[in-house]
Amino acid sequence: MKLSLTFLALIISQLAFSQSESDKKLLKKDKYGEVYITHDTSRIEYKWLIPSYPDDNLHIYQEYYQHIKENINSALKFSNKLNNLSKWTPIYKINNKYYLYGPSDWMYNFGFIINDSTILRQFSDGPGVFVILNSNKVSDKVYQYKTLDYYKKETNISIYIIDQTNEIAVWKFETQDEVQYELMINSNNIKKFPLVIRNCGNVKCVTEYEFIQPDFEKLIKTVR
């Protein structure tokens, strides 16, 4: 009986591995490794793609916030009532289809968390904190924030929801010096989309997969 159970467990394990392997679709192969697409939402990468508050980093957020509050001598208590804007994950497009990305080096991964007083950019080197000075809900698809960072640099952050069903949005960051964009998805919805994986075995890849950036301003113009 024990032998039969062991054999059954082995069969189940092999079937699961075969299913996982058959789920892969090769996108690119080079001398360093491969890039493939998977629809297996049980992969640990889906969890890693969701930004979070690591307990050991909480003091960093608090120090950033306190520094900004003291240096601009402002009462920053703010009640942000914009719904469904909490954790956001980067999303990309290949041939007009949406994909998430699991990099070889997770130092490249990032995400955003919106709370009642800050917008946090979370990445491996530590958090970037935008303190919210003002917010405006223009419509159900457009949200605007006036923010201040650690160095007292003002950044206007606009969120344009281009897909309400999946909560996919163009994030636009405007400072006095530059304009930057990111394509983001509400982290609650990431398992609706497949994952692009950059894999080089047991070592980090020399290069990451490069996605073609969309025309962000064109996407913004589709928001009504």
Residue burial 116-149, b: 16+ Cβ < 10 Å; e: rest: ebbbbbbeeeebebbbbbebeeeeebbbebebbb
Give the pLDDT score at 108. 87
Region 22-33: mean pLDDT is 86
* Average pLDDT over every residue of 10-33: 65
Q: Helix H segments across 102-215?
A: none
User: Per-residue pLDDT tens for 38-56?
Assistant: 999 999 999 999 998 655 5
More confident residue, 8 or 116: 116
Lowest mean pLDDT among 100-104, 133-137, 215-219: 133-137
Q: In what order do the strands lie in the sheet with 34-38?
A: 25-29, 34-38, 195-199, 97-102, 92-94
Most confident of 23-32, 160-169, 201-210: 160-169
CA dist., res. 197 & res. 30, Å (int):
14
> In which element (H, E) is residue 4 found?
helix 2-22
Q: In the predicted model, is pLDDT for residue 74 greater than 60? A: no
Bridge partners of 136, per DSSP, are 144
pLDDT recorded at residue 77: 55
The predicted model gives 152-162 an average pLDDT of 95
Give yes or no for residue 161 having a pLDDT over 90. Answer: yes
- Lowest model confidence (mean pLDDT) among 150-154, 161-165, 180-184: 150-154
pLDDT at position 58: 63
How confident is the model over 113-153, as pLDDT tens digits? 998 778 889 887 767 888 888 899 999 999 999 998 877 88
Measure Cα distances from 136 to 39, 105, 147, 202 in Å: 37, 36, 12, 47
Per-residue pLDDT, 143: 95
Distance (Å, whole) CA 217 – CA 172:
9
pLDDT confidence band for 76 (50 / 70 / 90): low
